[in-house]
Chains A and B, each alone.
Chain A
Amino acid sequence: MKIIGNGAEAVIALEGNTVIKTRIQKHYRLKEIDEGIRRDRTRTEARLISEARRCGVPTPVIRDVTDFEIKMEYIDGTALKEIINIALSEQTGELIGRLHSCGIVHGDLTTSNILLKNGKLFLIDFGLSYLDKSVEARGVDIHVLFQTFKSTHENHVELIRAFKKGYARTFSDAAYIIAREKQIESRGRYA
């Protein structure tokens, strides 16, 4: 078993072609609260990963879920941040459009959480995902992604334009969300 990620909330290990995500204990909070949160979030994450796939968003196949642990398929792909171009950005827009049509907000959209494998984009890390159909939540979701475009990719203006094109193709409310994202940007908080 190899540790491949270590976040604020969970440790990610790789065993063969299975990823094991374990939510770690937090000593600062009461055991009852700690275990409740870890159990609820583990269950919600697994559920949303499967639900996203039913909505046409490729995600890892879940192999097992226990109290604080999810075992899922390892997507042996390339992170979008290494290879992004106009066509892939448009394809990302379609992907997120399908996710949002389904009422799922990813909560941590970055070009590291989108992988390309065999010409297909996969969405990973649903650790902060939740169900929310509000314009604001979806607006923040795409805003966070645009921020990573801006901070790591030179041609972000074209990338964002392409994303919006794809997003509008798969999501009928896209125009409202795109307008809200502009407002969110002017507030300048989620940096």
Chain B
Amino acid sequence: MPYNCGHENLMSGISILGLEGTAWNLSAAIVDEDDVVVENTATYKPPTGGIHPREAAQHHANHIAGVIRKTLEKRRGRINAVAFSMGPGLGPCLRTVATAARALALSLDAPLIGVNHCIAHIEVGIWKTPAHDPVALYVSGANSQVLSYRAGHYRVFGETLDIGIGNALDKFARSAGLSHPGGPKVEELAKHATQYIKLPYTVKGMDFSFSGLATAAHEASRKYPLPDVCHSFQETAFAMLVEVTERAVAHTGKSEVLLAGGVGANSRLREMLGVMCNDRGIGFYVPEKRFMGDNGAMIAYLGLLMYKSGYRTEIPDSKVNPDYRPDDAVVTWR
């Protein structure tokens, strides 16, 4: 019976262990072709201010053995490969996690797979939502990009010319005396706004810029109530992101938008993207929250896609790249 074959394949399915630690979140997970088997996370929380790269790396070094051990306890059978974030990210953090990944691959006698962190965010979203071939808006602390797949690569249609939207929010929040991470606090305060204050809206061609906005918002917060400035910051920055996303949709002719990355947790950003997609009559997809911020499952899942396509990273080629662009990665699995 043909069903037996299918069933047996499923039983002997592929399991990939993924390690993520590009910034403040250290996370290990095992996924198979159906779902996430296990995930464990240790988060670095700065006592004051923002993320210090060296201290975050020290945090990862202190916790990675425990996180991996706890994850391996829940494994079902053999680990077929160890996937890790090769970049982009903070150099010291990337190196710490890559070192652990190499050691783990050797001890498990499994191949290593170095993955692009940005693409992992998108692929896990495609896995966990009905989206097939979307235009993705990827927004996190350090990254803000509009991407879509075409002919062997994820193409970057638009991106920030300076800092990521999350860092812009954090920078402004810190200057206004709010603690890290600032995004959720800005979102909360914005709900109590009574007026909009004009702030610089910067879209150049298909790219956007946030550093001028963060500075202008800081100056405005000396003159206006903080909730009004938070509201105006969000409305301005998110309108820029949605505009470029819409342009990429018009340009590619695609009929789906996927939201990815930690800032995607913001409900006002979701609402604005939802309105744009509804007006254009296209689908809008957001994975559940655990797959939006940095997580080990997304690294393991992209590792699984790459593993099935025959991709392997030899140890000498496993050097991290803090500036690893998603459009530099060759897509072997589509």
Contact = CB atoms under 8 A, between A and B. Distances in A.
Contacts of B247: 8-9
A32 B303 CA distance: 45
Contact of B235 (A9, A29, A107, A190): A29
Contacts of A26: 239, 243, 246, 276, 279
Interface string A86-110: 0000000000000000000001000
A10 B275 CA distance: 18
A130 B242 contact: no
Contacts of B155: 189, 191
A37 B201 contact: yes
A34 B3 CA distance: 57
A8 B235 contact: no
Contact of A32 (B198, B204, B250, B251): B198
A52 interface: no
Contacts, number: 59
Given A28-B273, A36-B198, A128 B156 contact: no
Contacts of A16: none
A68 B323 CA distance: 41
Nearest to B242: A28
Given A8-B247, A8-B250, A33-B196, A188 B242 contact: no
A105 to B, nearest CB: 8
A28 B280 CA distance: 11
A8 B153 contact: no
Place the interface of chain B in its size category.
Answer: 20 to 34
B280 to A, nearest CB: 9
A7 B249 CA distance: 11
Contacts of B198: 32, 36
Binding site secondary structure of chain A: loop
A187 B275 CA distance: 34
A69 to B, nearest CB: 19
A30 B239 contact: yes
A170 B206 CA distance: 28
Contacts of B153: 188, 191
Contacts of A191: 150-151, 153, 155
A27 interface: yes
B205 A29 contact: no
B272 interface: yes
A191 B156 CA distance: 8
Nearest to A34: B239
A28 B275 CA distance: 5
A33 B239 contact: yes
Contact of A30 (B151, B205, B235): B235
Interface string B258-284: 000000000000001101100100000
B196 A7 contact: no
Interface in A1-57: 7-9, 26-30, 32-34, 36-37
5 contacts: A8-B246, A29-B272, A33-B201, A36-B198, A191-B155
Closest 5 CB pairs of A and B: A8-B250, A29-B239, A28-B275, A28-B272, A28-B276
Given A8-B249, A29-B239, 11 more contacts: A8-B246, A26-B279, A28-B275, A29-B272, A33-B201, A33-B236, A36-B201, A130-B205, A188-B153, A191-B151, A191-B155
